[in-house]
Amino acid sequence: MSAFASDPGLENVRDAAGHGTEVDVAVHLHDGTVRLSILWTQEILLNANDADQVAQALQRAAEEARRITAARRPARPTGT
């Protein structure tokens, strides 16, 4: 089982050139890192709508990563 959770909103995003390339945005559930993967090649050509979907997925991943890392931070001392 992977510690990464992929964004389900990108399931239908494919390379605009028709090469079958896929993109994946995922958050590591333990350390809050964000993974951007371009599957089957080194680049992907996206139409404008798919590019918007990828951008939104990255924003969602960043927010989730912030929640994960905030939960892991030790409590700060309240006094001196």
Which pLDDT score is estimated for 21? 94
pLDDT at 2 over 90: no
Tokens of 35: 């993974």
pTM of the model: 0.82
Distances (CA, A) of 3 to 17, 25, 57: 31, 13, 18
Around Cβ 34, how many Cβ atoms within 10 Å? 16
At 52 the pLDDT is 97
Give pLDDT, residue 72.
80
